[in-house]
Amino acid sequence: MADRAEPLAALQGRINDAAFGGTTLMTVPFVAQVGLRVEPGSAAAGRVETALGLELPEVNRMSESGGRRAIWLAPDEWLVVAADGEERSLVALLEEAIAGEGSVVDLSANRTGLELAGPDARTVLATCCSLDFHPRAFGPGQCAQTLIHKAGVLVEQRGDDRYLLLVRPSFAAYVAEWLLDGMLGLKADAAA
Amino acid sequence: MKRLDDRGRIDHDHSFEFTYDGRTLTAHPGDTLASALLANGVDVIGTSVLMSRPRGVVTDNVTDPHAFAQVGTGSVTEPLMRMNEVEVFAGFEAEGRLHQGLLPTERESTRFEKRFAHCDVLVVGAGPAGLSAALAAADAGSRVILVDDHPHLGGALLGGEKLIDDKPATRWVADVEARLRANPDVTILTRTTAFNNGDQGAVALMERVTEHLPEAKRDGRALRRMWQVRTHELVVATGATERPLVFADNDRPGVMLAAGVRGFLHRFGLVPEKLVVFTACDDAYRTAIDLAGAGVDVQMVVDVRKDPQGSLIKRTRELGIEIRDNAAVIGTDGDADGVLTAVRVASLDGGVPEAIACDCLAVSGGWDPLFDLHLHVSGGSRWNRKLVGFVPDGSLPGIRVTGAAAGIFGTAGCRRDGHVVGLVAAEATGHGTTADGPAAPEGHDANEGPTADFVDVPGTERIHAFVDQHRDVALAGVDRALGSGIHHVEHVKRYTLVGTGTEQGRTAKVNAGRLTARHFGLDFAEVGISNARPLAQPMTFGSLAGRSLGVRFDPVRTTSIHPWHVAHGAIFEDVGQWKRPWFFPQGNEDMDAAVLRECAAVREGVGMMDASTLGKIDVKGKDAGEFLDRLYTGVMSSLKPGRARYGVMCKADGMVMDDGVVLRLADDHFMATTTTGGAAGVLDWMEDFLQTEWPYLDVWLTSVTEQWATVAVVGPKAREVMAVLAPELDVTQDAFKFMQLEDAVVAGIESRVARISFSGELAFEINVPMTYGLALWEAVFAAGQPFGITPYGTESMHVLRAEKGYFIVGQETDGTVTPLDLGLDWMIADKEFVGRRSLRRSDMLRDDRKQLVGILPVDSKDRLPEGAQLIDSAEYEIPVSMIGHVTSSYESSAMGRTFGLALVRNGRNRIGETIYAPLADRTVAVEIVDAVIFDQEGARRDG
Amino acid sequence: MELDPNEHALHNAPFLWRTPEPKKSYEAIIVGGGLHGLATAYYLAKNHGMTDIAVVERGWLGNGNAVRNTTIIRSNYLWDESAAMYEHALKLWETLSDELDYDVMFSQRGVLNLAHNLHDVRESIRRVEANRLNGVDAEWLDADAVKEFCPIVDISPEARYPVMGATLQRRGGIARHDAVVFALGRAADALGVDLIQGCEVTGIDVVDGRVTGLQTSKGPIAAGKVGLVTAGRTSLLTAMAGFDLPIQSHPLQALVSEVYEQVLNCVVMSNAVHVYVSQAHKGELVMGAGIDAFNSYAQRGGLHVIEEQMSAGMELFPQFSRARVMRTWGGIVDVCPDASPIVGLTPVENLYVNCGWGTGGFKATPGSGWVMAHTIATGEPHELNRPFSMTRFETGELIDEHGAAAVAH
Amino acid sequence: MFEIRCPYCGPRDEPEFKYGGQAHVAYPADPELLSDEEWARFLFVRDNSRGRYAERWNHAAGCRRWFNVIRDTGTHELVGSYRVGEQPEDAR
Ligand SMILES: Cc1cc2nc3c(=O)[nH]c(=O)nc-3n(C[C@H](O)[C@H](O)[C@H](O)COP(=O)(O)OP(=O)(O)OC[C@H]3O[C@@H](n4cnc5c(N)ncnc54)[C@H](O)[C@@H]3O)c2cc1C
Ligand SMILES: NC(=O)c1ccc[n+]([C@@H]2O[C@H](COP(=O)([O-])OP(=O)(O)OC[C@H]3O[C@@H](n4cnc5c(N)ncnc54)[C@H](O)[C@@H]3O)[C@@H](O)[C@H]2O)c1
Ligand SMILES: Cc1cc2nc3c(=O)[nH]c(=O)nc-3n(C[C@H](O)[C@H](O)[C@H](O)COP(=O)(O)O)c2cc1C
Ligand SMILES: [Zn+2]
């Protein structure tokens, strides 16, 4: 197939240059993303879990196994993420598992990823996101759909000080602008 | 004032120069603008707002009614900065402007930041009460944020010589600070003002990050940072503020508040030569004592009370300071500049006034607890007669007021109460255990006597005895208001403007209220004071806007094809947050020329357009068809898989809400498209009905707007282009009909192709995952070259659809237009749908409703402005009855003339008639025609 | 120019109003001592000779939205019914200070409504054209003309939502909220109207479908006719009379800055960026925020609404960066589904209602009082308020002012 | 700025939510049976009382669920939230 466009290509240079004091921002390579809607606790949900080899996580959590992970979006909604190129097989697998009791939609192009990592990652987020990322309130394996100023994002904590933000492509530049600006301010603070 | 080398918290060893009113002055690190001016003998800092009277610094904090300056120059000049808050540095520039500041004339690039923060306990104020509360809560395990607006912690303890545990209070402060700083779950913010308290613990703070530093040392850091704190518990420990007394010429430079005078000594090492103290309470005696201790010649304490008692008074006597009780300062004298040279003191029982020379008069009328943050969320207050001050009344969930802010005026009481409040707050957040004893009651220290309920000196001359010194309101102004029949303090405020100045009458409002009560013989507790409102301190627009400016103000949404549009010179149109290509000018073309060319290309050859912004909703489930039937006016459940149908939906009131094409992908699977602007609203609308009205329907909705990019290939030669792009796909009319869908590989990309037309021409809409949008676009453009393919924008799209009489939501509709008005009777199926009932209301059945029609200006070159109104006759007089308006108006390349769409009363029955558009400069005759003007038979859509 | 509050002390203070206790009964009682209530009472006395009347006010005169609004006055509404009503009011404003012998500081400095996208432009021209044909002064300015008229507006094309033009009503402007309260109250009092403050209506007596009097915090008061002019609290009152209105009460916030030398010579409103701002006579910038979405009687809203306002303001007026928000507050606005008021008869005989002015009733003050007085005095709506009846919600004959001028202040 | 508890995601700041007016007002089962007056009541008349009020919110930036909140319209106290289908007594 033809080449795919990176939604943040135009900002890539600035994203690369934003790093300071071990805190970095990166664009994330393409991944397969599939939207799953199924009644939690139903037989269909059970079949999905078997097919994926992982438990569908509870509220605000992510579960992961064999290179695939399911991210909780809503009481009957998850985003299933897998390696790039797997979207077709994943859709087929899930379609079969739900057997008409729910919905499976390929959303691989519907969101793009940004990863923010490092000692000041939390503070960068605090410049534009109202969630509490203090370790007492949010930790690895946790996720949330929330706002970066006026844009919706799905935030997932991938490890200590490591956050993945999945964003609709048309909002990606906007979200990046906020993160870059937060980093700019903190970089100046760090230098002082 | 004079500087003592061994006093104050400034750095005596270093000094620097700064500029005030064009004069070069010196200051020490640690000086505020106010202290620096006093040290330089700048007694007159400016003139007052109405009477142009000379005014000087009154106190050492932000309640000062005069101490304002215009700071900085050019685009970074800031009006009305608090002289007691502003810290000076080398190169600092300011101008004395006590009112009516100047706004900069250009845009600035200063950085103002914001940050979100969360905690269990937020403590505002770091005096003895706040420090105690913060320590107790932190020790109990709570996440604590402690803020104070000063550079240093300690609050009132910095401005006095108190002892705590037999050591100087500042030692205790340092000790508590060290313990707090050692706790990783404690954040201490100094130079930070809590300025707004909202619901559920949303407290806003403003930190002055680099404001106290010279420009060269700011290094790209923010000047200020607003903190948006969400706290479980808020502890308000903001202390109390002193209020003045009212007497003739009480506004003279040199007349100050007593605690301010004391503060200037302890914080900045500043003292006058000769001091007189004038008070209604014990606390001011501390000023006499402390200044005497610093070697100042304290002439006298004038006390309005009869025979005051207590340890402070005793100590004052012991120091040999004369105390004149039952007496008052009845006037002041000044030099040529108006600066204080003497006060006139008289007994309250009458007698001959005595002049006493002095260069400073320290006044205290008592203390007002400061608890704005409690008032911001509609907290109550009550007058405490004993304290002669307002105290918070009632408690609000999650808010606790402590220390002087709660009317606890003794230091020991403040510490005790703060400690208990800190423990209780921690416990409320699930940390620690119940407090270990009772909190302290409101009131003075046991060794202090009661404050006198005293406002103005009896018999005072009215014109120059000021109640509100900032707004220049004297007793005479209040008299006048009260003489007019009004008696509510809010009316007094609004009549006199008392308390409406930039410091919001901190030193004036209580006195104004008491004068009002006394005038009418009312109980002050009933009369009260005028309403307090946020902000607790004024904050700049820029710092409240933070970084939400320009590109960060509102998202700019673009499709994946956008870079190509930019590279090819597109001019863009804002549609909601989206930027869409409006037209693609070639060479020196203006919009009209470009649009004529683009339209001609589509009608005669082939055009291409980026339609990716249309909303797309994936609708899945056994009941998907039934669900859509309930929302669209038409039937969707009868659609066959692989086919598409146009649909319109109404709001419950029957007015057109949105439209789009619905594709049936499988028995239980649809995709509904929406308008660009309507996408989010339609999904919300669908979810609302699905979740709350029909949760039993088996339907699942997913937004796929951004999953798919859409390129429309439009025009008689579209088939030929498609044949090149998708050799595998049979695009012949028989194989691929209008409103049919096919999965196909187009330009090597797996696509969903639909034959949908918004122009009346043969058209293919190719949908590919958004990431492939640009690749597809480029491939279409390349494949179309032999056929002269022409990219076109939204303007041409609008012309083409208008020629066909297709309406645009938001252009032909405005929330008052039903599907019937648009002539969509054929789309109203015989079944229930949301809004249907509304179409039966009497006003909807009137036959003179405005209906969508086409219009042709009789002069085929005359293009009407969109929005032009329509009337019945060529001759008219204003006001004239309007029968409709032009919703769309263009020049058509296909028809070689201008045309338009309009909503016209009873329009469909008037086809063929001539009506008029009365413009300011001409009246244009137009013929009413069918809305479908071009290709009425629909011959073109199959190519 | 501002009034020197002290200067007048040298003269005799002009008398504003008496403080009467309520009589046992009145021919008519107006509930609500806001501007519309005071204007109603004034015109009842002046135009209809009714002087056995009272205004009962739960707090102090003006304590509702009267003193909380951003004081924008204009009449350039889209629909004929609205334009007629507001233009009638604007004409009355033009002579009000003289008529009441009290300066209400009405300043016809011009009102700009900015357009930021093609949709705005189209709707603006539609409104300008409709206004002109209704005899309401209106002009369309392109971006350069906007800049000329109001030099501090940023019209640069780089702005997130560039200014594409604006409508201008030169006769529009501002007045001093508090002064209007004083002026109307004084005039009504002088004509014999009892202005009774601190008198909250707690019940409405209805006998056989007809109103006979009021229960109040100062005791029962009999009344031949009653007009409810209580803005955001109207639903609470109609509930006492046994019927509902299609009204929701929302917080609407506004703010003032500190006082600056004049920089803004007109009123600027923007729908897309959501700003409306003017500089009051004294020099403070007066700015309205967006409506808080929920309903509330708390007279306050969220700070985030103000923050958004500041960003929006800075987009249009970059030089306001160092202006300071001094005070914010909220009013309770009574919003109708079609953003137009309800003025007229009710299901209860002799009980009349005037409400639903929402975010934009200050400008209507004299016109609203005029037609309400007519309605109360004659028992029939005035020609101007006939379309603004409660029944329009049943027939569907709404006067939907959302579309064209959604910032309705 | 409210902090609203989404019954699914937990407490979040107000800008994540969309307001939906009075709760427990169902779309009429058979609108055609209603008189113009009854239909107008459904379309336009909602409770506008002072005090505890059951209202709808949608967690627009989060799980997109509609739910109900009991809020005091006089004090802004948020008493609790509960899911569609539950009754106010379920508010937590
Ligand atoms: C922030 C804000 C900005 C605005 N900006 C503008 C603008 O720029 N231009 C514009 O034209 N309009 C504006 N408005 C709208 C305008 O303020 C109102 O539409 C108008 O003031 C309402 O009319 P009123 O004076 O009768 O209401 P109010 O002044 O609210 O009067 C109602 C009175 O009824 C009293 N009352 C209520 N219940 C009882 C009871 N039970 N017993 C006795 N008395 C009772 C109240 O205390 C109150 O005094 C704005 C409103 C707000 C809140
Ligand atoms: N004897 C008297 O008459 C009398 C009267 C009042 C106070 N006092 C003395 O004053 C002290 C009061 O102690 P306390 O702890 O209650 O108060 P405090 O005055 O010591 O401390 C309050 C602190 O809060 C700061 N502050 C106020 N508003 C703020 C805001 N919005 N944001 C950030 N910071 C803010 C103040 O600048 C100050 O630093 C005691 O020592 C008491 O004895 C005595
Ligand atoms: C046009 C206008 C100008 C105002 N100017 C000032 C002002 O200069 N100073 C001030 O403190 N308040 C000013 N206010 C706000 C009032 O003090 C007050 O906040 C408002 O009338 C609402 O009343 P409340 O705050 O008591 O609820 C102004 C209000 C309006 C409507
Ligand atoms: Zn949620």
pLDDT in tens, B633-651: 999 999 999 999 999 999 9
For B555, the closest chain C residue by CA position comes to C160
Residue B523 is which amino acid?
A: D
Closest CA–CA distance from residue A2 to any residue of chain D (Å): 33
**Beta strand C210-216 with C221-228: parallel, antiparallel or unpaired?**
antiparallel
- This complex has an ipTM of 0.97
B711, B703, B675: which is closest to B784 by C-alpha? B711
Whose atoms come closest to the Cα of C29: which ligand? 1
Mean pLDDT for C5-24 is 73
3-class state of residue C214 by DSSP: strand
For residue C407, pLDDT beyond 60: no
Of A80, A108, A136, the one marking the end of a domain is A108
Residue A127's domain is classified under what CATH number?
3.30.1360.120
Interface test with C, best of B467, B498, B527, B544 (most C CBs within 10 A): B544
In the numeric block, the tokens 């909601």 are attached to: B576
Subunit contact A145:D62, Cβ cutoff 8 A: yes
Question: Would D29 be classed as within a structural domain?
Answer: no
- Within this chain, do residues A118 and A187 fall inside the same structural domain, yes or no? yes
**What pLDDT is stored for residue A1 in this prediction?**
63
Select from A59, A146, A152 the Cβ nearest to the Cβ of D8.
A59
| Distance, CA of B207 to CA of B111 (rounded, Å) | 13
pLDDT in tens, A54-87: 999 999 999 999 999 999 999 999 999 999 999 9
In the numeric block, the tokens 């996440």 are attached to: B143
pTM > 0.95: yes
For residue C11, pLDDT beyond 80: no
For C403, the closest chain B residue by CA position comes to B814
Residues in B touching D36 (Cβ below 8 Å):
841-842
| Distance, CA of C322 to CA of B336 (rounded, Å) | 36
Question: Would A160 be classed as within a structural domain?
Answer: yes
**What pLDDT is stored for residue B568 in this prediction?**
98
For residue C196, pLDDT beyond 60: yes
DSSP string, B575-597: ETTEEEEEE---TT--HHHHHHH
Q: Kindly indicate the confidence band of residue C12, based on its pLDDT and cuts at 50, 70 and 90.
A: low
B390's tokens: 């307002």
For B397, the closest chain D residue by CA position comes to D77
- Contact at 8 Å (CB) between B384 and B526? no
Question: Would A4 be classed as within a structural domain?
Answer: no
Count CB-CB contacts under 10 A for residue C364: 28
- Contact at 8 Å (CB) between C307 and B545? yes
Q: Name the residue of B157, B414, B419 to mutate for ligand 2: max ligand atoms within 8 A of Cβ.
A: B414
Mean pLDDT for C99-115 is 97
Could you tell me if A26 lies within 8 Å of chain B, comparing CB atoms?
Answer: no
Residues, chain D: 92
> Is the backbone of residue B776 left (phi > 0), alpha (psi -120 to 50) or beta?
alpha
- Within this chain, do residues A99 and A131 fall inside the same structural domain, yes or no? no
**What pLDDT is stored for residue C2 in this prediction?**
42
For residue C3, pLDDT beyond 50: no
Of A48, A83, A108, the one marking the end of a domain is A108
Question: Would A172 be classed as within a structural domain?
Answer: yes
Residues in B touching C398 (Cβ below 8 Å):
816
| Distance, CA of B387 to CA of B685 (rounded, Å) | 58
Q: Kindly indicate the confidence band of residue C6, based on its pLDDT and cuts at 50, 70 and 90.
A: very low
| Distance, CA of B304 to CA of B315 (rounded, Å) | 18
Number of domains observed in the structure of chain D: 1
Could you tell me if B830 lies within 8 Å of chain C, comparing CB atoms?
Answer: no
Could you tell me if C294 lies within 8 Å of chain D, comparing CB atoms?
Answer: yes
Of A108, A126, A153, the one marking the end of a domain is A108
Which residues, 6+ apart, have CB-to-CB distance to B762 below 8 Å? B714, B715, B716, B718, B719, B755, B940, B941, B942, B943
Mean pLDDT per 10-residue interval, chain A, length 192 residues: 89 97 97 97 97 97 96 98 97 97 97 98 98 96 98 97 98 98 97 89
Which residues, 6+ apart, have CB-to-CB distance to B173 below 8 Å? B131, B153, B154, B157, B158
Mean pLDDT for C350-377 is 98
Question: Would A2 be classed as within a structural domain?
Answer: no
| Distance, CA of C346 to CA of C40 (rounded, Å) | 17
Residues in C touching D49 (Cβ below 8 Å):
235-236, 239
Subunit contact B838:D84, Cβ cutoff 8 A: no
Subunit contact D45:C244, Cβ cutoff 8 A: yes
Closest CA–CA distance from residue C382 to any residue of chain B (Å): 19
**What pLDDT is stored for residue C408 in this prediction?**
59
**What pLDDT is stored for residue C7 in this prediction?**
45
Mean pLDDT for C23-33 is 98
Q: Is the peptide bond before B475 cis (omega within 30 degrees of 0)?
A: no
- Compute the C-alpha angle D31/D37/D39, nearest 5°: 25
Residues in C touching B541 (Cβ below 8 Å):
257, 310, 313-314, 320-325
Closest CA–CA distance from residue D38 to any residue of chain A (Å): 36
Question: Would A186 be classed as within a structural domain?
Answer: yes
**What pLDDT is stored for residue D30 in this prediction?**
95
**What pLDDT is stored for residue C10 in this prediction?**
38
- Compute the C-alpha angle A116/D60/C360, nearest 5°: 120
pLDDT in tens, B193-207: 999 999 999 999 999
| Distance, CA of C10 to CA of B829 (rounded, Å) | 78
Burial B266-296 (b: 16+ CB within 10 A, else e): bbbbbbbebbbbbbbbbbbbbbbbbbbebeb
Question: Would D38 be classed as within a structural domain?
Answer: no
Q: Is the peptide bond before B879 cis (omega within 30 degrees of 0)?
A: yes
Question: Would D13 be classed as within a structural domain?
Answer: yes
For residue C405, pLDDT beyond 70: no
Question: Would A93 be classed as within a structural domain?
Answer: yes
Residues, chain A: 192
Select from C197, C329, C396 the Cβ nearest to the Cβ of B844.
C396
DSSP string, B748-788: TEEEEEE---SSSS-EEEEEEEGGGHHHHHHHHHHHHGGGT
**What pLDDT is stored for residue C271 in this prediction?**
85
In the numeric block, the tokens 């005895």 are attached to: B465
Residues in D touching B689 (Cβ below 8 Å):
27
C140's tokens: 């369309």
**What pLDDT is stored for residue C9 in this prediction?**
38
- Within this chain, do residues A101 and A116 fall inside the same structural domain, yes or no? no
| Distance, CA of B429 to CA of B419 (rounded, Å) | 16
B934, B932, B610: which is closest to B765 by C-alpha? B610
Subunit contact B621:A130, Cβ cutoff 8 A: no
| Distance, CA of C255 to CA of C262 (rounded, Å) | 17
pLDDT in tens, C326-363: 999 999 999 999 999 999 999 999 999 999 999 999 99
Task: Classify the C-alpha dihedral B840-B842-B846-B850 as positive or negative.
Answer: negative
Residue A66's domain is classified under what CATH number?
3.30.70.1520
**At C342, which helix (H) or strand (E)?**
strand C342-345
- Within this chain, do residues A102 and A174 fall inside the same structural domain, yes or no? no
Number of domains observed in the structure of chain A: 2
Rounded distance from Cα A133 to ligand 4 centre (Å)? 17
Roughly how many angstroms between the first and final C-alpha of chain A, as a whole number?
A: 50
- Which residues of chain A from 110 to 149 reach within 8 Å of chain B, CB to CB? 110-111, 123, 126-132, 134, 136-137, 149
Residues, chain B: 943
Residue C290 is which amino acid?
A: G
- Within this chain, do residues A36 and A100 fall inside the same structural domain, yes or no? yes
Could you tell me if B518 lies within 8 Å of chain D, comparing CB atoms?
Answer: no
- Within this chain, do residues A36 and A104 fall inside the same structural domain, yes or no? yes
Residue A187 is part of which domain span? 9-29+110-191
Closest CA–CA distance from residue B313 to any residue of chain A (Å): 50
Residues in A touching B773 (Cβ below 8 Å):
5
Interface test with B, best of D50, D63, D64 (most B CBs within 10 A): D64
Residue D12's domain is classified under what CATH number?
3.30.2270.10
A88, A108, A85, A91: which is closest to A37 by C-alpha? A91
CA B671 to chain centre: 39
Q: Name the residue of B489, B500, B509 to mutate for ligand 3: max ligand atoms within 8 A of Cβ.
A: B500
B792, B850, B786, B777: which is closest to B820 by C-alpha? B850
- Within this chain, do residues A16 and A48 fall inside the same structural domain, yes or no? no
Average pLDDT of chain B is: 96
| Distance, CA of C335 to CA of C358 (rounded, Å) | 4
Question: Would A103 be classed as within a structural domain?
Answer: yes
Can you list the residues of chain B whose pLDDT is less than 50? none
